[in-house]
Amino acid sequence: MGKFALVDTHTHLNDDKFSRQEAEVIARAQEAGVTRLINMGDTLASSEKAVELAASYDGVYAGVGIHPEEIYELGTADDEQLAAWTKCTRVVAIGEIGLDYYWEKDEEKRALQRRMFIHQLDLARQLHLPVCVHDREAHGDTMAILKKEGRGISGVMHCFSGSYEMAQELYQLGWYIGVDGPLTYKNAAKLPEIVARFPLERILVETDAPYLAPVPMRGKQNEPAFVRYVAEKVAEIKGIPVEKVAKQTSNNAEELYGI
């Protein structure tokens, strides 16, 4: 293994699938050179778990937020809880938040997702924190909301699945794109071409573990150690050494999340 360090900027060791295995998974990540990782929350319960993990392990950070698949009208109690957690050790983002029109087909519920998204963007602005955004088959509305309601907020479009034009718009907003296992898949479609053309200075590598394991681990339970396969694929596509990808994407994570 080459000498380079990586950051898995989006993972879910707070997921039940990792229950009671967190310490070994973190140890395996560190052995693989993944010296830092950020667990993102989807619900209040998983956000709390992410905060606990960040307090318990060096190099482990947390995002707190409510995912669009967990739809309900957010209230003051949610805001107060999320804000309180952001004062804890190594809590660096509001996330993951956003829109998911793949799983949600009902128009009223999609409208509720949009309200939740805007609500948490407002919270991030008040707390001076970056955001991690989930956008699945909702590119138009996600970008419209970011342009209108995202002023003063930086962030990443995690597990990027948009067009090159969308990536350019994000670049102009000062945002990052996150790439994961799907970059390594045979059916990756336009993503490799986007990664080839998009500046490395705005790319983050992530696993989204326990899902989306990259080739050659595809089909297994994903974990932060596997982010190296994503970084290696970025290096291969761009025709540059993986060490350079590791250094720049780590710098990017430091820049965005202040880690």
Q: Measured at CB, which residue is nearest to Ni ion?
A: 208
- 76 is written with which tokens? 């003051």
What backbone torsions phi and psi does residue 131 show, to the nearest 5 degrees?
-120, 155
Q: What's at 98, amino acid-wise?
A: G
Query: Which lies closer to Ni ion via its Cβ, residue 8 or residue 208?
Result: 208
By CB under 5 A, residue 100 contacts Ni ion: no
Minimum Å distance from CB 13 to Ni ion? 11
Shortest distance (Å) from residue 226 CB to Ni ion: 14
> Shortest Cβ distance from residue 76 to Ni ion (Å)?
26
Q: Which is nearer to Ni ion, 141 or 208 (CB)?
A: 208
Between 19 and 126, whose beta carbon lies closer to Ni ion?
Answer: 19
Q: How far apart (Å, rounded) are the C-alpha atoms in residues 168 and 181?
A: 22
Nearer to Ni ion, 52 or 208 (CB): 208
- CB-based contacts of 225, cutoff 8 Å, min separation 6: 25, 28, 29, 31, 32, 34
Per CB under 5 A, which region of 71-79, 112-120, 149-157, 203-211 contacts Ni ion? Answer: 203-211
User: How far is CA 100 from its chain centroid?
Assistant: 15
Nearest CB to Ni ion, comparing residues 94 and 243: 94
Between 235 and 259, CB nearer to Ni ion = 259
Rounded distance between C-alpha atoms, residue 221 and residue 155, angstroms: 27
3-state SS, residue 91: strand
253: part of which helix (H) or strand (E)?
A: helix 242-257
Residues 6 or more apart whose CB falls under 8 angstroms from that of 255 comprise none
Minimum CB–partner distance for residue 159 and Ni ion (Å): 7
Total binding residues for Ni ion by CB under 5 A?
A: 1
Instruction: Pick from 104, 141, 208, 223 the residue near Ni ion by CB under 5 A.
Output: 208
Segments of the chain assigned E as strands: 6-11, 34-40, 60-64, 91-100, 131-136, 155-158, 176-179, 203-205
Site for Ni ion in 30-49 (CB under 5 A): none
Q: Where does this chain touch Ni ion (CB under 5 A) — which range of 28-36, 174-182, 206-214, 241-249?
A: 206-214
CB of 40 vs Ni ion, minimal distance in Å: 5
- Sole window of 13-21, 193-201, 204-212, 227-235 interacting with Ni ion (rule: CB under 5 A): 204-212
The pair of three-digit structure tokens given for residue 9, joined into one six-digit string: 């900027």
CB of 224 to Ni ion, least distance (A): 13
**Which DSSP string do the residues of 137-191 spell out, in sequence order?**
S-HHHHHHHHHHH-TT--EEEES--S-HHHHHHHHHTT-EEEE-GGGGSTT-TTH
CB of residue 219 vs Ni ion: minimum separation in angstroms? 19
Residue type, 59: G
C-beta closer to Ni ion: residue 15 or 169: 15
Judged by CB under 5 A, the stretch of 27-35, 164-172, 199-207, 208-216 that binds Ni ion is 208-216
Binding site for Ni ion (CB under 5 A): 208
